[in-house]
Structure formats: structure tokens, C-alpha cells
Amino acid sequence: MKQPYLLLTPGPLSTTPTVKEAMQIDYCTWDSDYRHVTETIRQQILALAQANPDVYTTVLMQGSGSYGVEATIGTAIPREGAVLMVAINGAYGRRISEIADYYGIHHVDVVFNEDEAVDPVQVEAALAEHPEVTHFATIHSETTTGILNPIEQLMPMMHARGIVTIIDAMSSMGGVPINVDELDCDYIISSANKCVQGVPGFAYIIAKQTTLAQTADNARSLCLDLYAQWRAMTKQPGKWRFTSPTHVVHAFAQALVELQAEGGVLPRYRRYSANQELLSHGMQALGFDLVIDPAVQGPIITSFKYPTHHFDFADFYQFIKERGFVIYPGKVSTIPSFRIGTIGDVDTTDIKRLLAIVSDYQQLNQ
């Protein structure tokens, strides 16, 4: 089947034909073949995140990435005596704060402008002001803008205070090198439809076993009980508690094989970075300014300002879509902008084609 367009969005993203093909079979959920696939995925995720399997475990959770974040927040943080600090510089940081509200978790939000990275100095000051903080959460690649937050600097500050750490690395895991052993974080979260290049349907959480082992009975949700899911997957290796997205799981297994074939996370990071650099320079040459400083820009997604006051994003979007690409509206509340993703089964040839289309649009609309 011919694809009408390539997705230049930050997940779901364009997958390879072979990943899509893996979904052509109706798989059984309970037999040993399937459990073996699940177990292999759990181990391969630890390897791609450079997490020691003696220290860390992978828990898979049905649903989109937010279900994984909610399962983690709602299981990691006990009902009594805990305070969560959230460092926020975009919509996904705000989502964690919103989850905490739903669960009645006491939280301290440290809020930054959306076009700035989380500043460790200000987080440190907030920690000094709030010695009651027991848990800390932030976003690695804040997909609102494409900023990469400095988790490497934030984690040691938390360890020094014995604070449990939760990282939403949804849009970076698999596409940006992450060394979990070095970070020594307690929880780090991603999902099937981001940089591993699978399709939507489940989230995965890498958790430190000793931390997770202390969370029995914390969960306020049956389905989103990360601890119970872990126990089930460990007791009977590879077993999910409830029906799992079998087609998605097989597509993901294939996507992991292809990530390996590409050479692993580093070559993929280089491919995404080459896409992003070409896009960023090409768009600037066509009159689109960047929203964020290239110094904190990640390779996942880039935000561009509307070039003029009368710029019509809907018209621009449609023009590009008809010619084979789907881009993304902006999410920065204060700056009229749009976003273009550079992840998925796309390379610089695709970005060049996109730039030619944008150039055509600019010429027609002068």
C-alpha cells in the first residue's frame, strides 16, 4: 500500500515497510513464543539504554506514552508523606504536574520559559527552599519545542539529597544516546512509537529494581499499577497482566532489530542530527527563524516562527501535505510557531525534498 505522506511529527512517526509487515499476523498472547518476544524486548530495551540488567528492569505498559508516565507517577509516589518536584519548560512537564493533581500528590513546580532549557542552578535553589521534596520529575527532550534538558546535571543533585528521580525520555530514548547506569536515575520512560520507530500501543519504563520493589500497594489505579505489572512479568517471564497490543509488540520487536541493523542508538542519533541540521539551516535560508537557541536544540523536532504576521499555517500545512509530508502545529503558547520533526524512517533526501516544497510555497506567496 502506498503511503500518502511521510510523517515529520515527533511520534507517531514514519515506520519502515518491514515494521508494518510485522503486524500482518494475528498473534496469540499467552503462549511461550509471545512471552519470549516480550522478554527479548525487555532485555533489548535495557541494552539500548545502557542499563545494567542486574540493577534495572523494563516494565511494559499498555497505552500511549502518557499512560506510562501516569503509571510511574501513580506507583512511584506513595499516598502519604511524599512531595514531588517537577521541573517544567513545556507541555509535557505540565502534564506531569496535571497527573500529580489527579492523584492528589503534593507537588512543587519549578517553571521555566518554554524557549529555555531547565536551569540546574534554579532547580538547586528550589531544592534548598523545599527540603521536604522526596521525588523529582522532568522531561529529557521537551517535545513542545525540541529542547534537550540537562538531565546529566540534574541527577547528581537529586542523588545528593536521596530524592527518587523520574525522567520522561519519551521522544529521545533510542534516538539520543542515554546512559542509564551513569545517570543512575530511578525511572526513565518512553513509548513504542517514538525513536525506536515502532507504532503506538504501549509505553516502557526502565526502573531501578530496588526502588520499584518498595512501591507495592502505592498504586491508586489497578490498570496503571507499575509494580503489579512488573511482578506479573517477572513471575511468569514475558506475561502481561491484561491483553497486550500483540501486533504493536511484534512491530516493536522488528523495529528493535532494525535499530540494531542501523548500528544502534549512536548512528541513529547521527542520522536524526543530520536531518535536523539540514532542516534548520534550510528553513532559516528560506526566512523562517528558530524559536530556540541552537545550543539547547535536540535532533528530534524543531520549532520555527511564523515568517510574517499574515502567515497562514493551515494553508502552508495543506500545501505541504498534498506534496507528501505532514508537519506539526506549534505548542509554544506565546510565540506563533510550527514544528517539524526529523525522526522516523526519514533521511536527508526527504528533508531536501521538503525544503524544495517550502521554497515553492514561499515563491508562490511572495
- For residue 129, the minimal CB distance to ligand PLP (Å) is 26
Distance CA 335, CA 64 (A): 28
Joined grid coordinates for residue 64: 500511549
Distance CA 263, CA 273 (A): 15
Query: Which range, of 61-69, 110-118, 156-164, 338-346, touches ligand PLP by CB under 6 A?
Result: 61-69
Distance CA 253, CA 247 (A): 10
Distance CA 208, CA 60 (A): 14
> For ligand PLP, which residue has the nearest CB?
65
Element containing residue 338 per DSSP (H, E): strand 337-341
- For residue 214, the minimal CB distance to ligand PLP (Å) is 25
Cell 534538558, residue located? 149
Q: Are 258 and 16 in contact (CB under 8 A)?
A: yes
Cell 520529575, residue located? 137
Contact status: 10 vs ligand PLP (CB under 6 A):
yes
Binding-site member from 44, 48, 65, 175 for ligand PLP (CB under 6 A) = 65
Distance CA 199, CA 15 (A): 7
- For residue 40, the minimal CB distance to ligand PLP (Å) is 23
Per-residue string for binding with ligand PLP, 255-294, x by CB under 6 A? ----------------------------------------
Contact status: 114 vs ligand PLP (CB under 6 A):
no
Q: Are 140 and 148 in contact (CB under 8 A)?
A: yes
Binding-site member from 143, 165, 229, 302 for ligand PLP (CB under 6 A) = 143
> Is the Cβ of residue 127 or residue 139 nearer to ligand PLP in the bound state?
139
Query: Which range, of 47-55, 110-118, 157-165, 168-176, touches ligand PLP by CB under 6 A?
Result: 168-176
Binding-site member from 14, 46, 73, 92 for ligand PLP (CB under 6 A) = 92
Length of the chain: 366
Distance CA 194, CA 201 (A): 11
Joined grid coordinates for residue 50: 545502557
C-alpha distance from residue 251 to each of 16, 135, 301 (Å): 10, 34, 23
339 annotated binding-site participant = yes
Query: Which range, of 62-70, 115-123, 234-242, 315-323, touches ligand PLP by CB under 6 A?
Result: 62-70
Query: Which range, of 26-34, 116-124, 163-171, 211-219, touches ligand PLP by CB under 6 A?
Result: 163-171
From the centroid of its chain, how far is CA 66? 10
- For residue 189, the minimal CB distance to ligand PLP (Å) is 8
Contact status: 175 vs ligand PLP (CB under 6 A):
no
- For residue 28, the minimal CB distance to ligand PLP (Å) is 27
Q: Is the peptide bond before 307 cis (omega within 30 degrees of 0)?
A: no
Query: Which range, of 23-31, 37-45, 63-71, 105-113, touches ligand PLP by CB under 6 A?
Result: 63-71
- Stretch 176-215 residues interacting with ligand PLP (CB under 6 A): 191
Joined grid coordinates for residue 52: 545494567
- For residue 209, the minimal CB distance to ligand PLP (Å) is 24
> Is the Cβ of residue 65 or residue 120 nearer to ligand PLP in the bound state?
65
For the chain, first and last CA: distance in Å? 37
- For residue 159, the minimal CB distance to ligand PLP (Å) is 23
Q: Cβ-count burial of 134 within 10 angstroms (0-12 exposed, 13-18 middle, 19+ buried)?
A: middle
Which chain residues interact with ligand PLP by CB under 6 A?
A: 10-11, 64-66, 69, 92, 139, 143, 168, 170-171, 191
Q: Which residues are annotated as a binding site?
A: 339
Q: Which residues are annotated as a binding site for substrate?
A: 339
